[in-house]
Amino acid sequence: MNAQTPGAPTEAPTCYRHPGRETYVRCTRCDRYICPECMRDAAVGHQCVECVREGNRSVRQARTVFGGQVAATPVVTYTLITLNVLAYVAEVLSERVVDRFAMLGVWVDQFGMVRPGGVADGEFHRLITAAFLHSPPGSSFSITHILFNMWALWVLGSQLEQVLGRWRFTALYLLSALGGSVLLYLVNPTGAAVGASGAIFGLFGAFFVVAKRMNAPTGGIVTLLVLNLVITFTVSGISWEGHIGGLIVGGLLTAAFAFAPRANRTALHVAAVAGVFLLLMVLVVVQTVRLSDVTML
């Protein structure tokens, strides 16, 4: 056993994560030595990275007024815009994209004969894929169609996503888009349509409901909605069924989000989403059966 020489220098403490770095600062939570790179400001002193991470796990996540997790970045809105833009690029590269994925209930040729194709023929994907397509270049609306819808999605979506939370906003957008396609399928199954307008009108309705629930001014959204409704019913080539279907679904679903009691709120929101989806699917099945009977005559 070697005795230490009195007065000999002691070994300097080092960071527990970086043994080669000398430090005399300790984590106020675990008392381990930490270097400047590993320091995190705390209410008193500094904490190490691991203690901060562990503390965050035990802190209850902040919630929005409607029960969603607070998210500063509208990731879902960014993603939806990206998907729409990518779909538009695909349309530019191939004309077959619109033919294969546009909303179409039944296909009727120029002689009035029903041909295989459309939702009634089992192509149910058209009910949602049409919402990510827009008027191709050279059409009557051209690029203005996607530009307006993406502008509206950015303005309304980024705000609604922060208020509702990500999964509620995702459900709102997709079910509004689906609602527009379903109403078109019910009212005008031979009509074809593309566009995110059904989902956008759902956001119009959602924004109005949220503003009413939070006692915020509604004049701006009402003006925008009325203007778009006037355009919907006065300009030819616009599917009013898609717009109205999205508006109804978006407004009703958001009302369920906004006015559900706090007790078991998340479960009620999930039930509302599932209920709206099942109702739309029942309507699709009923219409498909009816169209099958008609086309077999």
Q: What is the CATH number of the domain that holds 245?
A: 1.20.1540.10
Q: Determine the pLDDT at residue 4.
A: 47
With respect to residue 57, please indicate whether it lies within any of the assigned structural domains: no
Count of domains forming the chain: 2
Does residue 23 share a domain with residue 155? no
How much is the average pLDDT of 222-232? 94
pLDDT surpassing 50 at residue 161: yes
pLDDT surpassing 80 at residue 42: no
- Written as six digits, the tokens of 285 are 């099945």
Does residue 195 share a domain with residue 272? yes
How does DSSP classify residue 20?
A: T
With respect to residue 66, please indicate whether it lies within any of the assigned structural domains: no
Per-residue pLDDT band for 50 (boundaries 50, 70, 90) equals confident
Does residue 90 share a domain with residue 47? no
**CA–CA dist 197, 253 (Å, integer):** 17
How much is the average pLDDT of 155-173? 94
Does residue 219 share a domain with residue 96? yes
Contacts of 124 (CB under 8 A, 6+ apart): 284
With respect to residue 97, please indicate whether it lies within any of the assigned structural domains: yes
Does residue 25 share a domain with residue 83? no
- Written as six digits, the tokens of 266 are 């998340």
With respect to residue 187, please indicate whether it lies within any of the assigned structural domains: yes
Does residue 240 share a domain with residue 168? yes
Nearest-10 Cα torsion for 189, 191, 192, 193 = -100
Per-residue pLDDT band for 2 (boundaries 50, 70, 90) equals very low
Does residue 178 share a domain with residue 37? no
Please state the length of the chain. 297
pLDDT surpassing 60 at residue 60: no
C-alpha closest to that of 192 among 139, 234, 149, 155: 139
With respect to residue 64, please indicate whether it lies within any of the assigned structural domains: no
Nearest-10 Cα torsion for 120, 101, 171, 156 = -130
Does residue 251 share a domain with residue 173? yes
With respect to residue 1, please indicate whether it lies within any of the assigned structural domains: no
Residue ranges making up the domain that contains 38: 12-52
With respect to residue 162, please indicate whether it lies within any of the assigned structural domains: yes
Does residue 247 share a domain with residue 105? yes
With respect to residue 59, please indicate whether it lies within any of the assigned structural domains: no
For 116-150, the pLDDT digits (tens) are: 679 999 999 999 999 999 988 777 777 899 999 99
Does residue 202 share a domain with residue 94? yes
